[in-house]
Amino acid sequence: MRRPMVAGNWKMHGTRASVAELTQGLGEMPIPSGIEVAVFPPALFISQVIDGLEGKGIIVGAQNSAVQPEQGALTGEVAPSQLAEVGCKLVLVGHSERRQIIGESDEVLNRKFAAAQKSGLTPVLCVGETLEEREAGKTLEVVGRQLSSVIDAFGIAAFANAVIAYEPVWAIGTGLTASPQQAQDVHAAIRKQLAVKDAEVANKVQLLYGGSVKAANAAELFGMPDIDGGLIGGASLNADEFGAICRAAGN
Contact set with ligand 13P (CB under 6 A): 9, 95, 167, 172-173, 210-213, 231-235
Residue among 71 and 180 whose Cβ is closer to ligand 13P: 180
Residue among 195 and 219 whose Cβ is closer to ligand 13P: 219
Does an H or E element contain 90, and which?
strand 90-93
Residues 59, 37 contacting (CB under 8 angstroms): yes
Residue among 13 and 118 whose Cβ is closer to ligand 13P: 13
Q: Is 95 a catalytic residue?
A: yes
Nearest residue to the partner ligand 13P, using Cβ: 233
CB of 124 to ligand 13P, least distance (A): 9
Residue 11 CB contacts under 8 Å (≥ 6 apart), including other chains: 42, 63, 97, 233
CB of 241 to ligand 13P, least distance (A): 11
Residues 250, 34 contacting (CB under 8 angstroms): yes
CB of 164 to ligand 13P, least distance (A): 13
Helix (H, G, I), strand (E, B) or coil at 123: strand
Residue among 14 and 234 whose Cβ is closer to ligand 13P: 234
Phi and psi based region of residue 87 (left: phi greater than 0; alpha: psi -120 to 50; beta: remaining)? left
CB of 232 to ligand 13P, least distance (A): 5
Q: Which of 133, 167, 187, 241 is flagged as catalytic?
A: 167
Q: Which of 36, 95, 129, 133 is flagged as catalytic?
A: 95
Residue 201 CB contacts under 8 Å (≥ 6 apart), including other chains: 156, 157, 159, 160, 194
Catalytic amino acids?
95, 167
